[in-house]
């Protein structure tokens, strides 16, 4: 194999002498292997180290105990609230991002190709989503704060006793988190729709179906696995964001509800996530309880990995299983 | 099958008279090579259908009322003409085969009949196409397409169950979804008419994509005929299938024509000969010849048709 490669390389007339390019080839190959292996090594190191630390420090009680303000570490409790905070914020973020992302992907691929106006509009939408994708989450967080501090939106967020608006709540954080999840979800759905062969659409049109029926009954069911992949990516981004939780969720130790209506009080309340819990308990934060930080980080890692596996399964398993379409 | 014989025949003749390779260039734009002249100088060999095949199917005696009527139909893509002034009539109970070399506009003409060409940007149509006396331009597209159904070259069932594939076609636009109980007899009937029911009766809930290619194509036919269309368009329905599946589908076409008008585009002259009652030969966008299958194959009027049906080009 290598002899053939050497020969074809020569006939293409590289300037350097065979010896020198062979070395560079070797170097390139070595670099490729080295990079690949060291990435594996780094990933393994993270997982193993966090696993080691996690198992060392994690007590089952931590997951089920609420955190408490305490003078010594023995009394500071677990991280039930941050864990719930992560789950709630992810759920809100995905619940907002998924319909938006899927609908805009459908519009771009199925409707945005028609006339000149819709095509230029489609280009604007595409680049807007790219801009959102490229915006750092701290910038999104600051922008979200500006929006949710508006008096008009005051009912959506946590308020001080006198009526001052903080602009912080699960709703505010979840809404801004959806902007993090939207670009990967959109891209995955769009790529999936573009990959559906044109004859599938024609088959539906030839049966006298409208475009929207075709989208809902034929196209979307067949890109379910793409949407699942996009959801995984989106949740990973949400779960990993610290800045938005710090700024828009208040990063309070416990979940603080606002008002008396059962679910709404949670949505309007503040809280924290596992990321901010890790940050606060790391030597960099106020808590300075590294063992709790390790335990929470381990739980976070397991959560994300489990989610990846679960959604992957869901998307793959559903691909050609009977869908009850009618 | 007879096409193969023709090729053999021609190559013998040419090698005897002139040392030119018997292989013909595919492109009609190229200058006429000498071997073709030789072939044409000979008295045209009548194209004989294979006897047992002929016996399989008598010419249609179900010829019914005119379903589609084409008057000076032309289609162009971004100003480039693909079909020029075609006038035809398509009757219930008959199979019309559109034949001709690649790029002659037969598929375009077929796709114009249910207005699928409209989906291509820059396509425009002139002339009149009447479905039961009504201009198809004035029909709502979804209504037209459930009255003029279509089967494609590649079997293209939806990624759903066998049952849902047919049920999807039965669901009417703007109506509430009927219950499975109501749909079941209609689905079974469509599958039965497409000759697929006996093979899938116990696995209606299995994914359609698990079926074989020939079964998938029959499912597509079931799906197309489920809403009881008046015309069935078939765009080379057998070209992706093995000979046995092809035979099954050809037989099915013979059955279907009792209740429908069938228009089939085919590259396979033997197939056109086997299934068609009428044949339309198209060349470079023009309708060159149109008539009964025996007239076109055995005594074509136009020189082009004669060359084509003898396998001389294309």
Terminal C-alpha separation, chain A: 55
Tokens 């379409």 belong to residue: A325
* Per-residue model confidence (pLDDT) at position A314: 76
Query: Is the same domain home to B6 and B102?
Result: no
Residue B24 is part of which domain span?
A: 2-41
Give domain status of residue B314, yes or no: no
- A203–chain B nearest CA distance, Å: 7
Residues 6+ apart with CB under 8 A from A271: A81, A82, A84, A85, A88, A170, A249, A250, A252, A254, A255, A256
Are both B273 and B303 inside the same structural domain? yes
Identify from B108, B110, B112, B160 which residue to disrupt to test chain A contact, counting A C-beta atoms within 10 A and taking the largest count. B160
- B145 neighbourhood in chain A, CB within 8 Å: 205-208
Residue B118 and residue B61 share a domain: yes
pLDDT for the residue B215: 93
Q: Which of B152, B209, B210 sits opposite A203 (nearest CB)?
A: B152
Instruction: Return the pLDDT at B53.
Output: 40
Q: How far is CA B59 from CA A165, B147, B250, in A?
A: 85, 25, 14
Whether B122 has its CB under 8 Å from any CB of chain A: the answer is no
pTM of the model: 0.76
- Tell me whether residues A319 and B119 touch, CB distance under 8 A: no
Residues B86 and B110 occupy one common structural domain? yes
Q: Say how many Å lie between the first and final Cα of chain B, rounded.
A: 17
Same domain, B248 and B279: yes
Q: What DSSP designation does B59 have?
A: P
Residue B14: CA count within 13 A, CB half-sphere: 21
Rounded to an integer, what distance in angstroms lies between the CA atom of residue B149 and that of residue B220?
10
Q: Does the pLDDT of residue A174 top 80, yes or no?
A: yes
Which residues of B fall within a CB distance of 8 Å from A209? 142, 168, 173
* A139 interfaces chain B, CB cutoff of 8 Å: no
Say if residue B15 is in the same domain as residue B125: no
Domain assignment present for residue B218? The answer is: yes
Q: Are residues B129 and B11 in the same domain?
A: no
Give the other-Cβ count within 10 Å of B132's Cβ.
14
Decide if B197 is inside a domain.
no
| Distance to chain B for A112, nearest Cα, Å | 13
Give tens-digit pLDDT for A119-139: 888 899 999 999 999 999 999
Q: How many CB pairs under 8 A join A and B?
A: 86
* DSSP conformational letter for B98: E
> Is position B27 within any domain?
yes
ipTM: 0.76
> What are the structural domains of chain A?
2-57 (no CATH), 62-317 (1.10.3720.10)
Question: Of residues A30 and A143, which shows the higher confidence score?
Answer: A143
Between CA B278 and CA B247 the distance in angstroms is 19
Does B171 contact chain A (CB < 8 Å)?
yes
Chain B contact present for A213, CB below 8 A: yes
Q: Do B151 and B244 lie in a common domain?
A: yes
Q: Which of A285-289, A308-312, B242-246 has the lowest mean pLDDT?
A: A285-289
Reply yes or no on whether the pLDDT at A13 is more than 80: no
Q: Does one domain contain both B15 and B84?
A: no
Per the domain annotation, does B198 fall within a domain? no
CATH of the domain at B64: 3.40.50.300
If asked whether residues B13 and B113 sit together in one domain, one would say no
By C-alpha distance, the chain A residue nearest B170 is: A207
Instruction: Judge residue A264's burial from the number of C-beta atoms within 10 Å of its C-beta, 0-12 exposed, 13-18 middle, 19 or more buried.
Output: middle
Region A92-116: what's the mean pLDDT? 91
pLDDT digits (tens, 9 = 90+) for A41-51: 999 999 899 88
Positive or negative, the Cα torsion across B243, B245, B251, B252?
A: negative
pLDDT-above-70 percentage for chain A: 87
Residue B212 forms contact with A (CB below 8 Å): no
Residue A99 above 90 pLDDT? yes
* Sheet hosting strand B134-135, strand order edge to edge: B134-135, B123-131, B66-77, B80-91, B286-292, B278-283, B95-99, B261-265, B231-235, B148-151
Residue showing tokens 């971004």: B78
How many separate domains does chain B show? 2
Vertex A199 angle, CA A227 and B141, to 5°: 105
- Shortest CA gap A185–chain B (Å): 22
Chunked into runs of 10 residues, chain B (314 residues) has average pLDDT values of: 42 45 51 45 45 45 82 90 91 92 90 90 89 91 91 91 92 76 91 91 91 93 93 92 89 89 92 91 90 86 85 56
Of the candidates A199, A209, A325, which has its C-beta nearest B160's C-beta? Answer: A325
Burial level of A88, CB count in 10 A (0-12/13-18/19+)? buried
Q: Chain A contacts of B160, Cβ < 8 Å?
A: 221, 322-323, 325
Q: Say if residue B245 is in the same domain as residue B154.
A: yes
Contact criterion met (CB < 8 Å) for B145 and A323: no
Q: Is residue B231 part of a domain?
A: yes
Is the Cβ of A203 closer than 8 Å to some Cβ of chain B? yes
Task: Please give the pLDDT value at position B48.
Answer: 45
The whole-number pLDDT of residue B1 equals 42
Note whether B62 and B22 are same-domain residues: no
CA distance B171 to B173: 7
Q: How many CA atoms lie within 13 A of B23 on its CB side?
A: 2
Q: In this model, does residue A9 exceed pLDDT 50? A: no
Q: Is the pLDDT of residue A322 over 70?
A: no
Mean pLDDT for chain A?
84
């Amino acid at each position: 194999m290598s002899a053939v490669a050497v020969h074809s390389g020569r006939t293409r007339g590289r300037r350097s002498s065979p010896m020198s390019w062979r070395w560079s080839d070797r170097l390139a190959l070595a670099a490729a292997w080295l990079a690949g292996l060291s990435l594996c090594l780094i990933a393994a190191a993270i997982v193993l180290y966090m696993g080691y630390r996690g198992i060392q420090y994690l007590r089952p009680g931590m997951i089920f105990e609420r955190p408490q303000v305490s003078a010594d570490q023995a009394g500071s409790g677990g991280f039930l609230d941050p864990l719930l905070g992560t789950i709630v914020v992810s759920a809100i973020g995905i619940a907002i991002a998924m319909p938006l992302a899927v609908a805009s992907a459908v519009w771009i691929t199925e409707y945005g190709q028609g006339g000149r106006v819709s095509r230029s509009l489609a280009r604007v939408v595409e680049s807007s989503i790219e801009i959102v994708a490229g915006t750092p989450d701290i910038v999104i967080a600051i922008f979200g704060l500006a929006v949710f501090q508006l008096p008009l939106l005051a009912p959506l967020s946590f308020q001080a006793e006198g009526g001052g608006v903080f602009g912080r709540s699960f709703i505010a954080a979840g809404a801004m988190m959806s902007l993090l999840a939207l670009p990967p979800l959109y891209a995955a759905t769009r790529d999936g729709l573009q990959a559906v062969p044109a004859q599938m659409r024609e088959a539906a049109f030839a049966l006298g179906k409208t475009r929207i029926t075709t989208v809902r009954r034929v196209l979307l069911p067949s890109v379910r696995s793409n949407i699942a992949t996009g959801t995984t990516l989106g949740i990973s981004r949400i779960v990993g964001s610290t800045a938005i939780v710090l700024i828009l969720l208040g990063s309070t130790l416990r979940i603080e509800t606002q008002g008396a209506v059962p679910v709404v009080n949670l949505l309007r309340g503040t809280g924290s996530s596992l990321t901010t819990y890790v940050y606060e308990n790391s030597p960099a934060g106020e808590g300075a309880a590294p063992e709790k930080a390790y335990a929470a980080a381990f739980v976070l890692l397991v959560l994300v990995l489990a989610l990846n596996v679960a959604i992957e399964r869901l998307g793959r398993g559903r691909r050609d299983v009977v869908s009850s379409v009618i | 099958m007879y096409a193969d014989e023709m090729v053999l025949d021609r190559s013998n003749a040419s090698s005897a008279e002139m040392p030119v390779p018997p292989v013909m260039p595919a492109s009609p734009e190229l200058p006429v090579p000498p071997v073709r002249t030789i072939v044409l100088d000979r008295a045209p060999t009548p194209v004989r259908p294979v006897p047992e095949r002929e016996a399989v199917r008598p010419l249609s005696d179900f010829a019914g009322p005119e379903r589609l009527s084409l008057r000076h139909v032309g289609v162009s893509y971004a100003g480039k003409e693909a079909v020029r002034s075609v006038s035809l009539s398509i009757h219930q109970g008959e199979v019309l085969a559109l034949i001709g070399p690649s790029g002659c506009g037969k598929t375009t003409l077929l796709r114009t009949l249910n207005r699928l060409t409209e989906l291509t940007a820059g396509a425009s149509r002139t002339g009149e196409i009447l479905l039961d006396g009504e201009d198809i331009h004035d029909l709502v597209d979804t209504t037209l397409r459930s009255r003029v159904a279509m089967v494609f070259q590649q079997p293209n069932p939806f990624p759903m169950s066998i049952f849902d594939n047919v049920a999807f076609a039965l669901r009417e636009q703007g109506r509430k979804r009927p219950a499975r109980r109501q749909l079941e007899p209609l689905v079974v009937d469509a599958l039965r008419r497409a000759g697929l029911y006996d093979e899938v009766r116990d696995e209606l809930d299995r994914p359609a994509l698990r079926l074989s290619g020939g079964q998938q194509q029959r499912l597509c036919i079931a799906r197309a005929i489920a809403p009881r269309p008046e015309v069935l368009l078939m765009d080379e329905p057998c070209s992706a299938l093995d000979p046995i599946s092809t035979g099954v589908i050809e037989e099915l076409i013979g059955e279907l024509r009792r209740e429908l008008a069938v228009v089939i585009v085919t590259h396979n002259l033997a197939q056109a000969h086997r299934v068609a009652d009428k044949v339309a030969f198209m060349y470079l966008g023009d309708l060159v010849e149109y008539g009964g299958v025996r007239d076109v194959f055995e005594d074509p009027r136009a020189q082009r048709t004669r060359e084509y049906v003898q396998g001389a080009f294309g």
